[in-house]
Structure 1
């Protein structure tokens, strides 16, 4: 493969990392580059990354060290408790405001995209195409006023839950080995949230939700089912991964799964370790393609939100993965589908 492959990534947490790290100049760190974290604009360009879903995530605090929560049988990390609306809204506003400052100071190098046409225009102009995502609906009030405000501000993708309960539903714990069937699904408010997202034309992300919540969304939603950053449970039995039955439902809805690079969702032992062979990523993609078809699989890295294989390292290392796929016999057309075309297609079917 002589030419670099364009990439559209289904999930990253750079906005939260920049806000929570307390760096003095987060806008400059993103636009001009730094040695921290996984993502900034210069490294994205070196990696061929032309865009992605940029998450707003409101943290609970506490430790998420997988090694700290290892048991004799695997990993069992307690779920954080409920996050107060005011706390969540303050965190969300800080991240959305940071994105606005990045856009204002980028000199035309970054674009907030509201639909497929915007993404394609950004690609054509050489701009980084950002689709705004909310990972966990804790900032959304009971009347959905904040949902309307965020939609007007550019939000086009929303996960009802992260891995904790909220007013809208229940998330899966970070547990290995475990089924994703770990508790209740959507609440009545969560069902209404899905209806509101359908009305607005917003993607409803099924990563992090319990299996019951997955089926609640599948029964209710009028849009293709999408898990932006999840893997196959059959290969790695972490609670965060999707069963064959869930994958089949995503296929039947003409939806999408983005491969999560987090090593705990790739490995046979559930450990979050950088010394993880990227062959496990290829194995996951092989399986997902067999189950879903070539047009319903992509990348959902979880950069800046997880430990990824050290051979990739950060967003500049994306060509390492595409080369591994080429070495495994994937043709250029299929690699392009996985790297960006499938994401653009499914987003076009959902957000327009």
Structure 2
């Protein structure tokens, strides 16, 4: 089985929500969600980015929002920024939960590419501590504290503003050019992340913010879980110009499995087959080449395609790639190796 190293999941929220049963949710599963250890093993999932994320009081998974997003066009207003003092306890609880999973002995929080390789070789899950929307980071001193705690990847925004910049709304059809540039603090964040070798994630960031990161950063540009705007005109998807900029930095895009970002009609309904995913992959390969395309599922954070309902179904996507004409070496790169090599270039080890 070809291993899969994945660019994004929101599993830690489920662990925190389960309270004292959080360890069991990981080790045994609870019949819900997209990820647990038994299904991860069955699907060849060997690790990925485990997101720390603070939800808004109202969001895209609420019933009213889902109904609206099932019937484009739509343009959901950006949620308000979460105040730092509210965001920090949520983020801290998720970081604690990830450390708890590490103590269970089946998962390693990794900070170097070699640690990823070692964890996979030992049969454990290699987990990168990632933060999606950094309201919990008040300033650069706090960034250093989170780095010391194991944070190695962050996205300055989710789909709401922060003190660092602006995210894109959930909108279809829409350009990602939806708001202003990074703030002065956001620009300082980019520079400090470069110094610490923390990966900066462009997914959810608007086009003006994207341009600022591209101008300021000395690291490869990365969108951990995004799709192709030329195929699905969602504000969350990347234009061909953005793909070219990422390619010129020797960066990477992880293909998002979220049905609404894959579907040409933008509807928040399960994708019926995997053909359109292969079209997105073909398009990404055309710009980024064989070393610049990977996977970024968004498991436990989005509506999955019918044939990729949860992590144990990952081999179906790899089989579809093979049937589409991708060779084994290319499939292995997309499924696993490209992420590890990108992180080695970004982290420096």
TM value normalised by structure 2:
0.96
SS at match of 2:225: coil
Residue by residue, what CA displacement relative to the aligned partner does 1:263-291 show, whole Å, maximum 9, x if unpaired? 11000111121243211111100110011
1:67 Cα deviation from its structure 2 partner: 3.2
Of the three residues 210, 219, 224, the one matched with 2:206 is 210
Residue by residue, what CA displacement relative to the aligned partner does 1:72-98 show, whole Å, maximum 9, x if unpaired? 751221210010101110100110011
- 1:172 maps to 168
1:12 aligns with 2:1: no
1:164 Cα deviation from its structure 2 partner: 0.3
Unaligned runs of 5+ in 2: none
Distance 1:277 1:93 in 2: 38
- 1:126 maps to 123
1:22 Cα deviation from its structure 2 partner: 4.0
1:23 Cα deviation from its structure 2 partner: 5.3
Distance 2:186 2:256 in 1: 25
Compared CA separation, residues 269 and 190, structure 1 to 2 (3 A): same
Query: Are the equivalent residues in 2 in contact too, given 1:185–1:209 (CA < 8 A)?
Result: no
Distance 2:272 2:344 in 1: 34
Residue by residue, what CA displacement relative to the aligned partner does 1:191-218 show, whole Å, maximum 9, x if unpaired? 0000110010010000000001000000
Deviates more, 1:333-342 or 1:145-154: 145-154
Distance 2:81 2:309 in 1: 33
- 1:114 maps to 111
The residue correspondences of 1:1-352 to structure 2 (distance < 5 A) are 4-19=1-16, 21-22=17-18, 24-65=20-61, 66-70=65-69, 73-104=72-103, 106-107=104-105, 109-142=106-139, 144-351=140-347, 352=349
How many residues align? The count is 345
Distance 2:115 2:240 in 1: 34
Residue by residue, what CA displacement relative to the aligned partner does 1:270-324 show, whole Å, maximum 9, x if unpaired? 1121243211111100110011101100000000000010111101110010001
Query: Are the equivalent residues in 1 in contact too, given 2:256–2:297 (CA < 8 A)?
Result: yes
Distance 1:201 1:258 in 2: 19
SS at match of 2:238: coil
SS at match of 2:152: strand
Compared CA separation, residues 58 and 73, structure 1 to 2 (3 A): closer
SS at match of 1:311: helix
SS at match of 2:185: helix
Distance 1:319 1:18 in 2: 25
1:137 Cα deviation from its structure 2 partner: 1.0
SS at match of 1:11: strand
RMSD, aligned α-carbons: 1.3
